Structure 1
Amino acid sequence: MATMMHIMSYLKSSRGRGLLFKKNGLLDHEGYTDADYPGNIIDRRSTSGYFTFVCSNLVMWCSKKQNIMSRSSVEFEYRGIAQGVCEILWLRWLLAKIGFRLDAATKLHCDSQSTFEIANNPVQHDRTKHVEVDQHFIKEKLGHKLISIPFVPSLEQLIDMLIHVVSKHRFEDSLDKLGITDIYAPT
């Protein structure tokens, strides 16, 4: 109840906030994905999430608890990336259907060094058998140049605000980067 009241208080104090879509000549598309360590002591499931941008405008976002328990940090991070890749593939398909040609791979930013190295390593190791299906799926999309997975430092990871507790300053900074503005704020 206390958490709900905290959320309601935030919503009441930020009535003028909303997404501002800006016209941009470039058809760039990128995403951010991350997952947290299983912090819920009751079910020990991780929370993963993603943001997806088209023309530097936020168009899709999600944060949800993973369906199964992960046995390692690489596993829950990799599951988060696989979920982000699925959404990017759907978005690429949708953009192609409405007439946009996407030549470049969609960047899916990840802040896990070990997950980044596994995704970009063509050799499968015995230590990655628990993520084998996701690994083959992601490697196939990397091979077809539909996605790329660049590393992003944790402090520049936008998705953290949906899956971690962040400071007020970092939260406000992330809102600006996401294009969420207050229409009542003085200019």
Structure 2
Amino acid sequence: MKDLGKLKYFLDIKLAHDQEGLFLYQQKYTLDILNECGMLGFNPSLFPMEANHKLALANGPPYSNTLKYRRLIGCLIYLTITRPKLTYYVHVLSQFMQTTLQDHWNATIRVLRYLKSSPGQGIVLPKNNNLQLVSFCDSDLASCPITSKSTSGYLMKLGKTPISWKTKKQVTISRSYSEAEYRTITHATSEIIWLCNLLNTLQVPCTFPTPLYCDNQAVIHLAANFVFHERTKHIKVDCHFIRDHV
């Protein structure tokens, strides 16, 4: 074996070392994507996607080069390794790889213009970190106009560093915000359990309970209340799963 020194570049991920810690970013990979799509001369955008987009209901002309769209979405998925903020937008755009319209391609171009405004963003791994696992989760209600399914999302941080994040459409249809949020908490709890086992394997003991932040007061009271209500029968397994870990 040969010692090649400190790791600087691995699988299109650049690693910058300094006294504060380690910085992971994919600037070269981002610029290669922009160059391949001919976007280096375009004006940058301050935001990647419209807040109230209707991409699922778009009925414009089809996009001619579906293979190009699929390849670009695959590149953006790999870019989410160091850009957690892109996860939701890539999740939305990846739903149209089978039937791609011109509106979907235009929305992808907006994401590329946003990347052009900040190609060097990444994740900081500080040298001094308390190694305390903290988690955040959130959900909407019936955001998909076709299936009325909700979208879940969570973010796991080890101290100040994000280490795990995900955005996914829920499998079943939720009839209230509380139900949608509770299903999101279930997914986040499963991820917390897996991360704690992984950290223990890496000799990082999780000696303190992991706080899980949620912005729905009804869900918070439901998780802490051991009185089982009739209105929670349809999420009975999730209720007992969350309460057991609380």
TM class, shorter-length: 0.7 to 0.9
Aligned partners of 2:130, 2:117: CA distance in 1, in Å? 35
Aligned partners of 2:143, 2:181: CA distance in 1, in Å? 14
Aligned partners of 2:129 and 2:160 also within 8 Å: no
Task: Give unpaired runs (5+ residues) of structure 1.
Answer: 143-187
Question: Which SS does the other structure have where 1:21 is aligned?
Answer: strand
Could you say which structure has the greater relative contact order, defined with CA pairs below 8 angstroms and 6 or more residues apart? 1
Aligned partners of 1:132, 1:105: CA distance in 2, in Å? 24
Q: Which has the larger radius of gyration?
A: 2
Question: Which SS does the other structure have where 1:67 is aligned?
Answer: coil
- Structure 1 segments of 4+ aligned residues over 3 angstroms from their partners: none
Question: Which SS does the other structure have where 1:59 is aligned?
Answer: strand
Aligned partners of 1:27, 1:112: CA distance in 2, in Å? 27
2:216 aligned partner, one-letter code = S
Aligned partners of 1:139, 1:4: CA distance in 2, in Å? 41
Deviation at 1:23, TM superposition (A): 2.2
Residue deviations 1:63-118 (CA, integer Å, cap 9, x gap): 11111111221111100000000101000000011112211110010000100110
List aligned pairs for 1:25-44, cutoff 5 A.
25-44=129-148
Aligned partners of 1:25, 1:17: CA distance in 2, in Å? 20
- Tell me what 1:146 maps to: none
- Match of residue 179, structure 2, among 68, 75, 81: 75
- Tell me what 1:160 maps to: none
Of all paired residues, the percent bearing the same amino acid is 38
Aligned partners of 1:25, 1:60: CA distance in 2, in Å? 16
- Tell me what 1:110 maps to: 214
Q: TM-score, normalised by structure 1?
A: 0.73
- Tell me what 1:46 maps to: 150
Question: Which SS does the other structure have where 1:106 is aligned?
Answer: coil
Deviation at 1:123, TM superposition (A): 1.3
List aligned pairs for 1:1-187, cutoff 5 A.
1-142=105-246
1:75 aligned partner, one-letter code = E
Which is worse superposed, 89-98 or 65-74?
Answer: 65-74
Q: CA RMSD in A?
A: 1.1
Deviation at 1:25, TM superposition (A): 4.3
Q: TM-score, normalised by structure 2?
A: 0.56
Task: Give unpaired runs (5+ residues) of structure 2.
Answer: 1-104
